[in-house]
Structure 1
């Protein structure tokens, strides 16, 4: 069992790290945050086999707090270890701002140098990560993350400010950060004293592209057209956006088109992967009796009993496929076959449909013909 100390445990990165480490049976996690005393920090530090030093100050009331909160706190931690002859590996979460000549950057750079010196003096591994902009769940909006702020504001229809839409930012995703951090601890061959380390993957994205993605995520509840999430960044950004939805706004209604057959509702649409919709069909009712040149579909009955019928548009033989909600069976609908689905049971039939393209009323590719 490895005992791990996480300072800044209630911060953005700390919460995600603790949530992951806490699932491991071979790790005991000790947490330090701003509510803990220096005495508690000392007590936990002396018990730790590995230290994630994530605590720091980046929005103080006065600039002097940069030194006390970043360098001073780090030096206190190191002094506790050194004075007790403890050789405990430390991973420091720093910032690319350490390259800048400003009070915050200077304080982070000084904290880095203190950690490197500790590693040299006692001969123990140290891992210093100069992080770019980190995004993901639990980051604080209107603080120091453009992604968090924009996700929060756009989801609430609060205007955002984009001074330079073509500006490019370098981003890393929180899950990649956590995976990389834990990998440093778990590496049995680690031998690092004064090296800077990078996250396994980063993304360079223009602000206007981030804004466009987030606006499309917001509008997808109304248009039902969701991004194809064709790359990892869009997928991670969508997950991040949803984590900022107001807690009273997780749900949204679909338009249900009612008629004498039951109802039908579109669920999800994509530009490149078609759309999904769902229907409720009353006993004895038939849907379909049409065919397509190119459009294809899949039918899945999840409740009730039905039969799907096919006939080549120039043929006479009718094919029948019985389906029911007790034995899930997907039926492919090829082009060139007129097809229908009939409720042959005594209860309503619930069916999921997928089509490989969005419905275009100007070019529906749907032609009536009874099976």
Structure 2
């Protein structure tokens, strides 16, 4: 399957592209500039089986919100009508569509526009998403979860202005529904359910993460809610909070370093040596937590966020052990250098299972997944 995604640099669009990459699905990014250029847009849509519409405007004046959403949906609908074959249209709608606000009205109008795109009127999925959270959400824009994570990352304690229960869905789960609908048939109205969590409960759990993690301790990583929220929180810390310093206890017998202190979790630990010039990794995880600690020798740890060409590099030395925790959806690699092998300790919160390894080949130095 070959899909096109509007809003590819946005929060949901980026998560969708990450999941598509992990599944080997060709994904054509449709930036806002393409929506305004019919000739280039038609060329971009050539050969796609489905279009997933994630682009939208949810902040600004009423006119900006209304016009921005209508314009994006209208231009996409026109492009689909110009194609000489049926293409499935999947719309990333919002639970706020029922609100009597500019945003709610704009979402309903966009859905109606996309649902009537000629031959695709019978090949349309309206996916009404609940409140989303996940890695690299924009504070004060995408969700209160992103705002709270940002505040804790900046050393501030966020204030809960209004409590209440909110249905929350991780962006990767939302992306999975959108991809499933891209391969569906017929006219469909889909409402994925989020997990009910209160605002104060979410803030309290994030504060627990902050208290534990500021000293290098790992919180309890059992259950999807705790793990996905912790990975979301960590995305707001990277790379400023890394590497994590570890205390080395030295006496006449030698040295001792505590590599992992975790409240409760399953997982797996292993040790490997890497000869100078050799590399390990060159892959990416969507959900798995991994900690790297070099206890002997020297190495470089390089990481790159998917669909970006910016590489963050850490030079680590076993003489002064530190921990570098791999952010989810960032390709990473460890390369040994110096005159002796690098001995590394690695810990993951999941045991390795070949049928669900959550490990996808991805070179750090080659952002080819973006093309």
Which residue of the partner structure matches residue 29 of structure 2? Answer: 31
Is 1:63 the counterpart of 2:62 in the alignment?
yes
Question: Is the CA contact 1:224–1:267 (under 8 Å) kept in the aligned structure 2?
Answer: no
In structure 2, the residue matched to 1:215 is 207
- Mapped to 2, the partners of 1:255 and 1:222 lie a distance apart of 14
Structure 1 residue ranges (4+ consecutive) displaced by more than 6 angstroms after TM superposition: none
Measured after TM superposition, the shift of residue 207 of structure 1 is 1.4
1:58-115 superposed Cα distances (whole Å, 9 cap, x missing partner): 113x322223221232122212322555421100011111110011110101111222
Return the match for 2:226 from 219, 234, 246. 234
Determine which of 261, 268, 284 is the counterpart of 2:253: 261
| Equivalent in the alignment of 2:165 | 168
Give, in angstroms, the shift of residue 241 of structure 1.
Answer: 1.0
Of stretches 156-165 and 8-17 in structure 1, the one that deviates more from structure 2 is 156-165
Distance 1:175 1:24, change over 3 A: closer
Cα deviation for residue 24 of structure 1 reads 4.9
Aligned to 2:10: 11
- Where 1:171 maps in the other structure, the secondary structure is strand
1:156, 1:246 within 8 Å by CA — same for their partners in 2? Answer: no
Match of 1:104 in 2: 103
1:192 paired to 2:194: no
Which consecutive unaligned segments of at least 5 residues does structure 2 have?
270-294, 297-342, 346-371
Q: Alpha-carbon deviation of 1:152? A: 1.7
Distance 1:94 1:114 in 2: 12
**Secondary structure of 1:35's partner?**
helix
Q: 1:97-152 CA distances to partner (integer Å, 9 max, x unpaired)?
A: 11100111101011112223337x65532111111111111221222311111112
Matched pairs, number = 274
Q: 1:259 to 1:122 in 2, by over 3 A?
A: closer
Which secondary structure does the structure 2 equivalent of 1:48 belong to? coil
Q: Given the superposition, is the C-alpha separation of residues 77 and 241 from structure 1 closer, same or farther in structure 2, using an over 3 Å criterion?
A: same
CA distance in 1, matches of 2:254, 2:232: 37
Distance 1:176 1:84, change over 3 A: closer
- Map 1:303-314 → 2, pairs under 5 A: none
> Shift in Å at residue 229 of structure 1?
2.3
Tell me: CA distance 1:259–1:17, structure 2 relative to 1, closer, same or farther (3 Å).
Answer: same
CA contact (8 A) 2:216 2:245 kept: no
Aligned to 2:133: 135
Q: Aligned pair in 2 of structure 1 residues 225, 93: CA closer, same or farther (>3 Å)?
A: same
Instruction: Name the CA distance, whole Å, in 2 between partners of 1:6 and 1:211.
Output: 32
Structure 1 unaligned runs (5+)?
278-301, 304-349, 353-371
Counterpart in the other structure of 1:43: 43
TM-score by length of 1: 0.65
* Distance of 2:27 and 2:142 partners within structure 1: 27
1:243 to 235, 246, 258: 235
- Residues 218, 123 of structure 1: alpha-carbon distance in 2 compared, 3 angstrom cutoff: closer
Shift of the 163–244 alpha-carbon distance from structure 1 to 2, 3 Å rule, reads same
What are the superposed Cα offsets for residues 133-190 of structure 1, whole Å, 9 maximum, x if unpaired? 111112212223111111122122033121134x11111011111222112223xxx3
Q: Does 1:205 align with 2:193?
A: no
Instruction: Tell me the secondary structure at the aligned position of residue 149 of structure 1.
Output: helix
| CA distance 1:229–1:80, change in 2 (3 Å) | same
Partner Cα distance (2:49, 2:259) in 1: 50
CA displacement at 1:270 relative to structure 2? 4.2
